Amino acid sequence: MNRNEKLIKIEDLMLDICSGRYHWRDAITELEEYRKLAFDIYDSELEYSPMLQGYFDLMSINSLNPVRARLATRSNQPLFRSKTDFMGFCDDLMSQHDQFINRQKRKRNRNATVLEKRFEKLVEDHCKLLLVRVDLSYRYDADTSIRDFDANLEVLRRRIQNRDTCFKGVLDYSWAIEQGRDKGSHCHILLIYNGSKYMKDEYYAMQLGKVWQDITDGEGCYFNCNSKAHKDQYRKQNTLGIGMIHRSNALEVSRAFKAISYLARADKEDQHLRAKIRGKRGFG
């Protein structure tokens, strides 16, 4: 079980408990069973989503080792003195969780607006734009920490900003970090080239993927959204908005706006970051 699975397992337990799927006395047993799992992944310097932080706080998951923490918990009052106490805890934590999810949606809406304005300016300045989109992640067995992920992405962003090798013709770029159930922590990257000078979007997407694999010493993997097969699927659905975009083609431009807004789309479900480095952005 990798780090992502452990985080989601604990979050799911807390959501089940706070949704009333456990009798309050039975919930205590379930909470105890996840204690060692929590110690395996807890990092006091990370910022966690409310459900995870709620578990860590409730179970005294901190700098103590598991045995000392368990003894400290048992020497004090029980986790919940009564059903009323338990229900109050659940209601408060669910409220925090709902507020957290709503904040994420508002951030995504703001980010989408920023992306749209940047792209609108590029369309005004260039008759053709080449949009390249790649999804970056890690092999399932890599079990990479959020710190490793952040460090690797920082190296990649510097490479793009320096405009070297395959990034030489990049006019603008955007990125968004997410954490899903299946892919774990991953990053959507959008590169925009001057379409009058650069073509072969599938090639540039592949080169970006190779750079990512090199940065991660082979532990990273990527999905080339600009592959012919993938673009053919978009064409069949009449949603193709990446590759070569002509300013004179209103339909292409409209679909491109939709494609780039995917990076920050507010209606994405269950893609919020469960853990992140304090002060670090998830979009840029």
Tell me what pLDDT residue 75 has. 47
User: Considering the chain, what percentage of its residues have pLDDT values greater than 90?
Assistant: 62
Rounded to an integer, the average pLDDT of 263-269 is 66
Rounded to an integer, the average pLDDT of 183-209 is 94
Q: What is the mean pLDDT of the chain?
A: 89
Q: Which residue has the tokens 């990512």?
A: 212
With 90 as the cut, is the pLDDT of residue 194 above it? yes
C-alpha distance from residue 67 to each of 35, 36, 172 (Å): 10, 9, 51
DSSP 138-153: E-GGG---HHHHHHHH
Containing 111, the helix (H) or strand (E) segment is: helix 83-125
With 60 as the cut, is the pLDDT of residue 234 above it? yes
Contacts made by residues 37-42, CB under 8 angstroms, sequence distance 24+: 37/6, 37/9, 37/10, 38/10, 39/65, 39/66, 39/69, 40/6, 41/3, 41/6, 41/7, 41/275
Rounded to an integer, the average pLDDT of 216-237 is 94
Containing 11, the helix (H) or strand (E) segment is: helix 3-18
Amino acid at 197: K
Q: Which residue has the tokens 């004179």?
A: 248
With 70 as the cut, is the pLDDT of residue 268 above it? no
Amino acid at 253: V
Containing 185, the helix (H) or strand (E) segment is: strand 184-194
DSSP one-letter code for 183: T
Closest C-alpha among 100, 242, 99, 111 to residue 176 = 111
**In the chain, which segments carry CATH 3.30.70.1130?**
108-277
CA distance linking residue 98 with residue 94, whole number of Å:
6
CATH class, 108-277 region: alpha beta
Rounded to an integer, the average pLDDT of 190-198 is 96
User: Considering the chain, what percentage of its residues have pLDDT values greater than 70?
Assistant: 93
Contact yes or no for 169/197 (Cβ under 8 A): yes
Q: What is the pLDDT of residues 8-25, one digit of tens each?
A: 999 999 999 999 888 888
CA distance linking residue 105 with residue 110, whole number of Å:
9
> Per-residue confidence at 155, pLDDT binned at 50, 70, 90?
very high
Rounded to an integer, the average pLDDT of 190-218 is 96
With 90 as the cut, is the pLDDT of residue 219 above it? yes
Contact yes or no for 207/134 (Cβ under 8 A): no
Q: Which two tokens stand for residue 195?
A: 């379409």
> Per-residue confidence at 140, pLDDT binned at 50, 70, 90?
confident
C-alpha distance from residue 216 to each of 120, 142, 159, 210, 273 (Å): 34, 10, 14, 10, 21
CA angle 3, 153, 228 (to 5 degrees): 95
With 90 as the cut, is the pLDDT of residue 280 above it? no
Contact yes or no for 179/104 (Cβ under 8 A): no
CA distance linking residue 250 with residue 41, whole number of Å:
49
Q: What is the pLDDT of residues 83-93, one digit of tens each?
A: 899 999 999 99
CA distance linking residue 126 with residue 47, whole number of Å:
41
